[in-house]
Amino acid sequence: MYALSTGCTLLIFGAVADAVGSRLIFLLGCFFQSIFCMACGLSENGTQLVVFRVFSGLATAMCLPTAMSIVSENFAPGKLRNLAFSFIGGGQPIGFGLGMLVGGVCADTIGWRWGFHTATMANTVAFLLSWWQLPRPTGSGINWDLFFFGIDWLGAIAVSAALALLSLALAITTADVHNAGKPSTIVYYTLSIVLLVVFVVWQEYQERRGKPTLIRNSLWKNLSFSSICINVFAIWGAFNGFEQIINFFFQNVQEISVLETALRFIPTPITGLLSALVTGMVLHRIRADAIINITIMISAISPLIMALVNPSWTYWRCAFIAICLNSIAADSLFTVSNILIADMFPPETQGLAGGVFNTFSQIGKSFGLTFVELIANIVSDQKASGEERYQPDGYMVGYRASFWFLFAVNIFSLGVGFIGLRKVGNIGKKHDQ
């Protein structure tokens, strides 16, 4: 529900931020994230926890596109802007790694609620620092004309509803593959497809009349834009899918504790940050397509290693290398894709540009998590005998299939990069260069 509420509202909040100001929406997102993280930790039953997670997802959707917009507004194209984007990209694996570690420690010691309490503290600090340090807008304030008449509200509602229904259907299918054949699930999938078609037709109609759009259909004719969106979708799906399955591998196959599992993810923030920073420093000198293709080839090694792993091998022999390499492509792509997408949107719609990137990454994440779990469950059900289905060997046969699937996704992304991004060349340079 958290991923659903985040993924389906990113475009709306990105567009709203362009009208009322990115700083305001970002600060509100940080504030509400603190409030609802605290509420999650204080929840008294499962229903309350789910509801509070939904609101946390909305708060996250307020922060993600506006962070991109704030960088675009305050940094001119060039090395400094590239580094700013790379720091944001590097912050994600650091947050993921620290979150896994703190969550594991809390779950095995003082209780899971403190995982939310610590997140509340961190978000409160982030809110106060942002209030103090983020530059205040120099304009006249909220642009109400843009808010009411410059945002494609009908398109925003249609695409948000479509993504919400699609995410819900994927979540239901992930829980049990047999749910895919239920009438309610079929209705969710059908309505989501219909609404996506309506959205595309409406965007074409709006663009022909010169009216506001969320994503102009003509943008899809740009091979670089289409290819970078496909790669963001695929690589984010592969990255998150890998983290999910290797987490299951540690706990269900090697049968280690939550805390020991969390400790094994420590390399993720380190290699992720290094990848993002190196990309930011060299992007103005090295072709963007070369950076993307090289990092995808490196990250493709991760699922390949785990598809061939012997579960009895030690962590340092195999899994350590796989975890180190997994985040490299995702974090390099973060910097490159944000700059490419931002350059294709007008300066006054940078919040919307950030929403486009984050929507593709979040929906890719949902698909990635769904497919790896479905593949693992289906293969284990078919190939593992009844006695060993829920034993380490029974789990492992499904996990291997998922790792092979993730390897194929990386190879597919590599092909998209070679074909679709070959004309990108150098990006992130100063305009006068």
Q: pLDDT (tens digit, 9 = 90+) per residue, 308-360?
A: 999 999 999 889 999 999 988 888 888 888 777 777 776 666 677 777 777 88
Q: What is the pLDDT of residue 115?
A: 85
* Superfamily of the domain at 2-133+145-151+212-420: MFS general substrate transporter like domains (1.20.1250.20)
Q: For residue 128, what pLDDT band results from cuts at 50, 70 and 90? A: very high
Apex 32 CA angle, 66 and 259, nearest 5:
95
Chain centroid to Cα 211, Å, comes to: 30
pTM of the model: 0.82
Reply yes or no on whether the pLDDT at 242 is more than 90: yes
Q: Which residues contact 314 (CB under 8 A, 6 or more apart)?
A: none
Q: Which tens digits make up the pLDDT trace of 258-310? A: 778 878 888 888 888 888 788 877 877 788 888 889 999 999 999 999 999 99
167: helix, strand or coil:
helix
Q: What value does the mean pLDDT take over residues 367-379? A: 88
Structure tokens at 48: 């309350």
The domains of the chain are located at: 2-133+145-151+212-420, 152-211
Fill in the amino acid letter for 138: T
Q: What is the pLDDT of residue 144?
A: 67
Could you tell me if 174 and 113 are in contact, meaning their C-beta atoms sit under 8 angstroms apart?
Answer: no
Ranked by mean pLDDT, which of 92-96, 141-145, 257-261 comes out on top? 257-261
Q: Which residues contact 186 (CB under 8 A, 6 or more apart)?
A: 180
Q: Which tens digits make up the pLDDT trace of 227-237? A: 888 998 999 89
Q: For residue 429, what pLDDT band results from cuts at 50, 70 and 90? A: low
Q: Measure the CA–CA gap between 287 and 310, rounded to whole angstroms.
A: 38
The closest of 364, 234, 376 to 299, measured between CA atoms, is 234
